[in-house]
């Protein structure tokens, strides 16, 4: 695995699913980890314990990423503990699904606030620290790296999920715009676009054999993804091994974006 030794990573939405796997993988790669979460004190306590037992360093950072005051306090605590931040894995996300005509403003705002505004707030605070500190050659070629957890739905329209798909489409443009703006400062910003990964957010899509079969039909590789499929890509994107990758989304989707319906149709 690529090395992140001596670097400090903040992972948001890290008490379950993809974020948990990213936090543990970054710790295993040698990073100090700030574990952001909104629920699951016991899970995070265990994660900190496991990371420290393996010789790593981690701190819990309870904060709602959609609230500016909580994000600012989280960064102060992280930088107070580890001195700086080198990597942001902005991963927290939610769904509030509804047929479009019935979608409430509350459902719309909730998803946009966490998935897009939360990413903006965390990225802005990370970038401030990257710019303040600049490159430390012994740690990384970059002044900082941001990895957004986006989705195949930054590209694939998704009926019944207008708020979610819009948030991920917006995230793609946020990622590209700030990558363009900050590349000259040696800051790299990319997204990972997961396909269907087995986590609590999409439990209904895989928990029964019938649902899992229907889901697998959308995945040319024939298997539902695991959080570790995303975590290994995140560690690589955070490392100097991907130093020339900037402003792009890497889809980790078992080929979902190959439009499998066209294998036999069309």
Residues 6+ apart with CB under 8 A from 250: 190, 191, 192, 193, 233, 237
Measured CA distances, 41 to 45, 181, 192 (Å): 6, 37, 27
Annotate 160-211 with three-state secondary structure.
CCHHHHHHHHHHHHHHHHHHHHHHHHCEEEEEEEECCECCHHHHHHHCCHHH
Residue 43 exposed, middle or buried by CB count within 10 Å (0-12, 13-18, 19+): middle
Instruction: Pick from 18, 33, 143, 187 the residue near ligand NAD by CB under 6 A.
Output: 18
24 is a site residue for ligand NAD (CB under 6 A): no
- C-beta of 101: minimal distance to ligand NAD in Å? 23
- C-beta of 130: minimal distance to ligand NAD in Å? 21
15 is a site residue for ligand NAD (CB under 6 A): yes
Name which of residues 51 to 90 contact ligand NAD (CB under 6 A). Answer: 64-66
Q: Measured between alpha carbons, how far is 108 from 105 in angstroms, rounded to an integer?
A: 5
**Of 235, 90, 248, residue with least CA distance to 183:** 248
Judged by beta carbon, residue 118 or residue 144, the one nearer ligand NAD is: 118
Q: Measured between alpha carbons, how far is 230 from 253 in angstroms, rounded to an integer?
A: 9
Q: Catalytic site residue 259? A: no
- C-beta of 187: minimal distance to ligand NAD in Å? 21
Per-position x/- string for 30-49, each x denoting binding to ligand NAD as judged by CB under 6 A, each - no binding: ------xxxx----------
200 is a site residue for ligand NAD (CB under 6 A): yes
Name which of residues 132 to 151 contact ligand NAD (CB under 6 A). Answer: 149, 151
- Active site members: 164
Q: Site residues (CB under 6 A) for ligand NAD?
A: 12-13, 15-19, 36-39, 64-66, 91-94, 114, 118, 149, 151, 194, 196-197, 199-202
């Amino acid at each position: 695995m690529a090395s992140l030794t001596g670097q400090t990573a903040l992972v948001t939405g890290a008490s379950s699913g993809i974020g948990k796997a990213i936090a543990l993988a970054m710790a295993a790669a040698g990073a100090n980890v700030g574990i952001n979460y909104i629920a699951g004190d016991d899970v995070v306590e265990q994660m900190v314990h496991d990371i420290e037992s393996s010789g790593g360093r981690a701190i819990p950072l309870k904060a709602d990423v959609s609230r500016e005051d909580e994000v600012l306090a989280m960064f102060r605590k992280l930088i107070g503990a580890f001195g700086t931040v080198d990597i942001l894995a902005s991963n927290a996300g939610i769904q509030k699904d509804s047929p479009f005509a019935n979608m409430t403003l509350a459902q719309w705002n909730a998803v946009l606030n966490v998935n897009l505004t939360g990413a903006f707030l965390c990225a802005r605070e990370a970038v401030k620290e990257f710019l303040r500190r600049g490159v430390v050659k012994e740690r990384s070629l970059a002044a900082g790296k941001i990895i957004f957890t986006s989705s195949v739905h930054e590209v694939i329209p998704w009926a019944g999920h207008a708020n979610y798909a819009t948030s991920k489409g917006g995230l793609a443009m946020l990622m590209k715009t700030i990558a363009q703006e900050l590349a000259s400062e040696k800051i790299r910003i990319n997204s990972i676009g997961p396909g269907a990964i087995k986590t609590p957010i999409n439990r209904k899509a895989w928990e029964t054999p019938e649902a899992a079969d229907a889901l697998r039909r959308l995945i040319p590789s024939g298997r539902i993804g695991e959080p570790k499929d995303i975590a290994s890509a995140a560690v690589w994107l955070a490392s100097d091994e991907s130093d020339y990758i900037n402003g792009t989304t890497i889809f980790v989707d078992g080929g979902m974006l190959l439009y499998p319906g066209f294998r036999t149709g069309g």
